[in-house]
A and B are shown apart, each in its own frame.
Chain A
Amino acid sequence: MVERVFPRTPRRPARQPARQRPRLRLLLASGAASAALVAGTVIPLNPLLPAPQQAQAADGKKVLTVAVSQSVDSLSPFLAQKLVSTSIHRLTYEYLTNYDPKDAHTVPGFATAWESSADKLTWTFTIRKDSKWSDGVQATAEDAAWTFNKMMTDENAATANGSFTSNFKKVTAPDPETLVVELNKPQATMTALDVPIVPKHIWEKVGDFSKFNNDKQFPIVGNGPFIITDFKVDQYIKLKPNKDFWRGAPKFDELVLKYYKDGDAAVAALQKGEVSFTSGLTPAQAAALKSADNIKVNDAPGRRFYALATNPGARSKDGKKFGNGHAALLDPAVRKALFQAVDRKTVIDKVFQGHAVEGKGYIPPRFSAYFWEPSADQTIAYDPAEAARTLDTAGYEKNAAGKRVGKDGKPLDFRILCHATDPNDKAIGKYLQEWWGQLGIGLKVDCLDNVSDPWLAGDYDLAFDGWSVNPDPDYVLSIHTCGALPATPKDSGATDNFICDKRYDDLYAQQSAEYDPAKRAELVKQMESRLYDTGYMNVMAYPNAVEAYRTDQIKSITTMPEAAGNLWGQDGYWSWWSAVPADDGGGSGSSSSTGVVIGIGAAVVVVAALGLFVAMRRRSTAEDRE
């Protein structure tokens, strides 16, 4: 480099005025670039280049491509906790039971029948004879027994699903078609054990379950409707149909979960036809796709509830109180007044833009068996005037500045914990400030990336709360029992927001031991009613699951619930197992073959132009050196 500053002299005068040279160079370069562009666009595809989608279309191979965004935490059923991973396991392993797509009642899975003993402590499952592992080995009760026993004896294998077996005393397989589970105490969730059963002959070779991710050898042996054939972290997961699946093979030739880390990019991919399906749409995306050709927007009832939670005074099992929740919120009248001032209709219309249903009971209506709504005289309806009266009656008068004053003589000012990543929290926070402000109550909206720290420490007054509900409601019910409180203030329990109510707990214990579905549902509804009356929580909405798919790629597909339901994250494999390819479409991406040609052409242009540029510079330098 240093020698550059020692120009060699004398040199020959330039043949042309220096200023004109760059222009000429530019002209040459652009000429060459356009030539390359033309060449790139018209040259037929390089035979070496597979151009996958086009090849598939030519083969008539129908590919169902689903856009996903969540990273797989593990492909081991013993470790996987994220929705994307458990959804893949639903597709690739059988569980003892499954949920009916119509109304989510329990239907046979790996087990064809089940019964409990008179003392409710022994469950006997009959295992199906017509299920084979994808390597040809017969799947038996021994596989199921081994899976459960592994989780019960190896703590490293209990990471993901250990809570299902914590009440198990003994699991045996007396013969290949019989699985016997003995319990310590009755457990109503025995037909909702969402545990993938793995092949013993493969998994017994695994050493450390905490480090085995089941993602090195493909295809992965399973017995579900699909078999995992390939996986590249944050790029794709490929599955092929299990032709021997006992319920019948899926109709598409391949299922690909393809990664789109950005929702708008996934929508673009759907519009282009690179993917067949995308989920988690925002209202704006749904509105944009509604008018698009060959795209169906599926605005399905969701499985989540979206609620306001108040801090009932954080406490631990040892009776110690902690946190700094506002004392006024311990008064039922204050909570009632707050909820009376919430205009749910506005929340649905303005914030969710219609993509949600007004909240009533704790469990969303899609789980019809457990859905409960308050009676007319029980309902805390929207009525701002009544809310003001409630506060007046309870003795919270307004001061000269128009602010309600608490029993301690200080104005009522609350804080609400909001998830910084959730735009709905922020928008509703603004409305609440307005509505409660009119009542004379101040509100500070604390939007945080990490709400769990103040939440678990009890350092909040109110919070935006929400849970995804399973077909079996046991878990979402359990998080409001006294048993879920932390052992000491230093521990963390499973509790949602420190609710502890004896009557609720009694009902919870009853439903846990009730094996009759109808009677249990009745108990669950009573729990919901009690939870509503305690007034610590108020469900504002059930957000919809907004998804979209290409009708020129998917002809028909089963939603769950069947009448009007969602496709991604079902409690079963129904959507992708049932999907029928459209006759005309060649699966996702077939329309992009021209794009591939042109795109490669453009890529060639870039490279060619760069090469040309470098070459020209070199040549001119050489010329100068002459």
Chain B
Amino acid sequence: MRDAVDGPVKTGPSGSAPTTSGTRTAYPLYVAGKLGGAAVSLLAVLVTSFFLFRIIPGDPVKAMTHGVPTSAEQLATLRKQFGLDLPLWQQFTDYCGRALTGDLGTSYQFHAPVGELIAEKLPATLLLTGTAVLIYSALGLWLGTRSAWRNGSLSDRVNTGVALTLWSVPSFWLGLLLIIVFSVGIGPVPGMFPTGGMESGDSSGFGYVLDVAHHMVLPVATLVAVGYAQTLLVMRSSLLDEMGGDYLTTARAKGLRDDLVRRRHAVPNALLPTVTMVFINLGHVAAGSILVETVFSWPGLGGLFYQALSVPDLPLVQGLFVVFAGAMILMNLLADLLYPLLDPRVGR
């Protein structure tokens, strides 16, 4: 049975009511287009990353040997090892050739394959930032919905006020504060959490899982606290836009419970901008958070990127750039693929 509620949703740009079969034929084309676009973006990223970081001033060999007794021969050897003695076009073709086979090169400062270095730290970053993004997205969605639904109420004002305040707090400062209060302990609050790191180093199996969870609490709390306001505000404003909709009046007129009107009718229609943002945030997950990773000594990619940039360790920055951009492209692709399912107006 279809009621008036689906009116605004189902009316396509052409004004004609779509048929299910129409969506079916359009979707594969839409998917193919998006996949092609993503592939082109990825290729562009591969090429850009090579040139982008060569604009950074600084000679990696000089930077790495600064303060260390180094002879002119050693400098020459290092240049040769790194391939920096070759002309730029040759470095570029070498890079492309390797990149196509999945080899991102060898880090200058860590003397190890870039792929290996990234693979070593990627899980830690995904775990920390991924958990935080999921939690703060859910929290933001939930609180944003409540705030909008009771627009102007005390709880709305408190919710948005608190969220905005936390959003404006520098994450490293909040992190340090949490360490002082909940790690070291202050007054009656006992030191409950480790001061940093990802594990104690002596556990295995289930103990290891608990140990990592124990280490994750404060950094995740920091990221959630400074991050959830974004989702909350977007969700709140897009739901407010929907709240004047006639279809909601209709739904209420039918005698539906307020709770249901919100959950079944208003929220799904208001969800699209928020979903876009959640995916953008998920795209950022790979890049981690340099500040929070630093304060909590979390062994993630954010810190690695900083170290790579300060040399500059060209193969490593290039590799990380490709991974970060790749994650973004992937998440955008996923969002694009999801839209038509969330909102049939998209993709036709």
Chain A interface residues toward B at CB < 8 A = 1-2, 4-9, 11, 13-14, 18-19, 21-22, 46, 48-53, 55, 71, 73-74, 76, 79, 81, 155-156, 158-160, 162-164, 166, 210-211, 213, 230, 232-236, 238, 256, 258-262, 264-266, 268-269, 271-272, 274, 449-450, 452-453, 456, 467-468, 475, 478, 487, 491-494, 592, 594-596, 598-603, 606-607, 610, 624
Partner of A5, one of B111, B117, B180, B265: B265
With A53-B200, A81-B68 known as contacts, the answer to whether A4 contacts B299 (CB < 8 A) is no
Which of A256, A468, A599 is packed against the most chain B CB atoms within 10 Å? A599
A603 near B213 (CB under 8 angstroms)?
yes
A259 near B112 (CB under 8 angstroms)?
no
With A7-B5, A48-B205, A259-B196 known as contacts, the answer to whether A592 contacts B191 (CB < 8 A) is yes
With A73-B110, A213-B111, A467-B67 known as contacts, the answer to whether A259 contacts B197 (CB < 8 A) is yes
Chain A's nearest CB lies how many Å from the CB of B11?
13
Partner of A49, one of B176, B201, B207: B207
B206 near A48 (CB under 8 angstroms)?
yes
Q: Which secondary structure dominates where chain B touches chain A?
A: helix
22 contacts between A and B (CB under 8 A): A1-B268, A9-B1, A13-B257, A49-B203, A49-B211, A50-B203, A50-B204, A50-B207, A51-B200, A52-B203, A155-B77, A162-B77, A230-B201, A234-B121, A235-B197, A261-B295, A262-B176, A262-B297, A452-B59, A456-B62, A595-B190, A602-B192
Which of A6, A156, A235, A256 is packed against the most chain B CB atoms within 10 Å? A235
A residues in contact with B3, CB < 8 Å? 6-7, 9
B62 near A595 (CB under 8 angstroms)?
no
Which of A50, A233, A265, A269 is packed against the most chain B CB atoms within 10 Å? A265
B217 near A599 (CB under 8 angstroms)?
yes
- CA of A597 to CA of B225 in the docked complex: distance in angstroms? 24
Chain A's nearest CB lies how many Å from the CB of B339?
11
Partner of A4, one of B110, B197, B207, B268: B268
- CA of A455 to CA of B199 in the docked complex: distance in angstroms? 42
A residues in contact with B69, CB < 8 Å? 163-164, 475, 478, 494
B109 in the interface (beta carbon within 8 A): yes
The total number of A-B Cβ pairs within 8 Å is: 241
- CA of A601 to CA of B210 in the docked complex: distance in angstroms? 10
B99 in the interface (beta carbon within 8 A): no
- CA of A339 to CA of B191 in the docked complex: distance in angstroms? 51
Chain B's nearest CB lies how many Å from the CB of A583?
23
A residues in contact with B64, CB < 8 Å? 81
A450 near B199 (CB under 8 angstroms)?
no
Interface size class of B (residues with CB under 8 A): 35 or more
- CA of A230 to CA of B199 in the docked complex: distance in angstroms? 14
**8 Å CB interface, B253-312 against A:** 254-260, 263-265, 268-269, 293-297, 299, 303, 307, 310
A493 near B341 (CB under 8 angstroms)?
no
A21 near B192 (CB under 8 angstroms)?
no
B62 near A452 (CB under 8 angstroms)?
yes
A163 near B191 (CB under 8 angstroms)?
no
- CA of A53 to CA of B203 in the docked complex: distance in angstroms? 11
B residues in contact with A468, CB < 8 Å? 67
With A450-B58, A456-B62 known as contacts, the answer to whether A599 contacts B214 (CB < 8 A) is yes
- CA of A594 to CA of B1 in the docked complex: distance in angstroms? 60
B195 in the interface (beta carbon within 8 A): yes
**8 Å CB interface, B164-212 against A:** 172, 176, 179-180, 183-185, 190-207, 210-211
B residues in contact with A1, CB < 8 Å? 268, 341-342
B94 in the interface (beta carbon within 8 A): no
- CA of A19 to CA of B121 in the docked complex: distance in angstroms? 47
In chain B, what residue has the closest Cβ to A475? Answer: B69
B residues in contact with A264, CB < 8 Å? 176, 179, 295
B251 in the interface (beta carbon within 8 A): yes
B214 near A163 (CB under 8 angstroms)?
no
B43 in the interface (beta carbon within 8 A): no
A residues in contact with B16, CB < 8 Å? none
A residues in contact with B259, CB < 8 Å? 14, 18, 21, 624
Partner of A262, one of B9, B207, B295: B295
A residues in contact with B185, CB < 8 Å? 272, 595
A residues in contact with B197, CB < 8 Å? 235-236, 258-259
Chain A's nearest CB lies how many Å from the CB of B347?
13
B192 near A595 (CB under 8 angstroms)?
yes
Chain A's nearest CB lies how many Å from the CB of B238?
16
- CA of A594 to CA of B203 in the docked complex: distance in angstroms? 17
- CA of A91 to CA of B77 in the docked complex: distance in angstroms? 29
B residues in contact with A76, CB < 8 Å? 111
A606 near B110 (CB under 8 angstroms)?
no
Chain B's nearest CB lies how many Å from the CB of A51?
8
- CA of A187 to CA of B212 in the docked complex: distance in angstroms? 53
Chain A's nearest CB lies how many Å from the CB of B115?
13
B71 in the interface (beta carbon within 8 A): yes
Partner of B297, one of A261, A456, A467: A261
B85 in the interface (beta carbon within 8 A): no
A residues in contact with B294, CB < 8 Å? 261-262
- CA of A272 to CA of B197 in the docked complex: distance in angstroms? 15
In chain B, what residue has the closest Cβ to A22? Answer: B146
B81 in the interface (beta carbon within 8 A): yes
With A21-B259, A159-B77, A272-B191 known as contacts, the answer to whether A265 contacts B176 (CB < 8 A) is yes
A residues in contact with B179, CB < 8 Å? 264-265, 268
Apart from A268-B176, A493-B72, A603-B213, what 19 extra A-B contacts exist at CB < 8 Å?
Answer: A6-B1, A6-B3, A9-B1, A21-B259, A46-B207, A162-B71, A164-B69, A230-B201, A233-B121, A234-B121, A260-B196, A260-B297, A262-B176, A262-B297, A452-B66, A487-B72, A595-B183, A595-B191, A610-B135
Chain A's nearest CB lies how many Å from the CB of B345?
11
B residues in contact with A211, CB < 8 Å? 106, 111-112
B77 near A272 (CB under 8 angstroms)?
no
Chain A's nearest CB lies how many Å from the CB of B4?
11
B214 near A235 (CB under 8 angstroms)?
no
A6 near B6 (CB under 8 angstroms)?
yes
- CA of A163 to CA of B75 in the docked complex: distance in angstroms? 11
A residues in contact with B71, CB < 8 Å? 162-163, 166, 494
- C-beta contact mask, B46-80 vs A, less than 8 Å → 1, else 0? 00000000000111001111111111111101100
A residues in contact with B63, CB < 8 Å? 450, 452
With A6-B1, A46-B207 known as contacts, the answer to whether A52 contacts B257 (CB < 8 A) is no
B190 near A453 (CB under 8 angstroms)?
no
A residues in contact with B217, CB < 8 Å? 599, 602-603, 606
- CA of A610 to CA of B176 in the docked complex: distance in angstroms? 25
